[in-house]
Amino acid sequence: MKYLGIETQKPKIAIFDFTSCEGCQLQLVNKEETLADFLAAVEVVNFREASSARSDDYDIAFIEGAVSRNDEVKRLTAIREKAKVLVALGTCACFGGVNKLKNEFEMKDINRDVYGKNPKETLWVRSVGEVVKVDLEIPGCPVSKNEVEAIVRHVILGAPFTFPVYPVCVECKQRFTSCLMEKGQLCLGPITRGGCNAPCSVGGTGCWGCRGPATDPNYDSFFAVTADRGFSKEDVAERMGFYGTFQEVQNR
This prediction's pTM: 0.89
How do residues 112-131 score in pLDDT, each as one tens digit? 888 888 888 888 999 999 99
* Closest listed residue to residue 62, CA positions, set 27, 106, 111: 27
CA 79 – CA 221 distance, rounded (Å): 42
What mean pLDDT is predicted for residues 186-198? 96
CA 142 – CA 225 distance, rounded (Å): 28
Could you give the domains of the chain?
Answer: 2-157 (3.40.50.700), 168-243 (no CATH)
What pLDDT does 25 receive? 92
* Closest listed residue to residue 68, CA positions, set 25, 125, 120: 125
What pLDDT does 100 receive? 93
Does the pLDDT value for residue 81 go beyond 90? Answer: yes
Q: How far is CA 96 from CA 83, 102, 196, in A?
A: 21, 10, 19
- In the sheet with 12-17, reading across from the earlier edge strand, the strands are 43-47, 12-17, 60-64, 85-89, 136-138
CA 151 – CA 141 distance, rounded (Å): 17
How do residues 132-187 score in pLDDT, each as one tens digit? 999 999 999 999 988 888 888 888 778 888 889 999 999 999 999 999 999 999 99
What mean pLDDT is predicted for residues 198-211? 95
Does the pLDDT value for residue 110 go beyond 90? Answer: no
What pLDDT does 53 receive? 84
What mean pLDDT is predicted for residues 86-93? 97
Does the pLDDT value for residue 227 go beyond 70? Answer: yes
How do residues 1-27 score in pLDDT, each as one tens digit? 454 555 567 889 999 999 999 999 998
What mean pLDDT is predicted for residues 190-215? 95
Average pLDDT over the chain reads 90
Of the listed ranges 30-34, 79-83, 179-183, 194-198, the one predicted with least confidence: 30-34
Map residue 244 onto helix, strand or coil.
Answer: coil
Higher pLDDT, residue 149 or 80: 80
> By the 8 A CB rule, do 141 and 97 touch?
yes
What pLDDT does 5 receive? 55
pLDDT above 70 coverage of the chain, percent: 96
> By the 8 A CB rule, do 76 and 30 touch?
no
What pLDDT does 251 receive? 58
What pLDDT does 132 receive? 98
- Helix, strand, coil percentages (3-state) for the chain, rounded to 5, are 40, 15, 45
Map residue 132 onto helix, strand or coil.
Answer: coil
Map residue 169 onto helix, strand or coil.
Answer: helix
What mean pLDDT is predicted for residues 95-114? 88
Helix (H) or strand (E) segment spanning residue 69: none
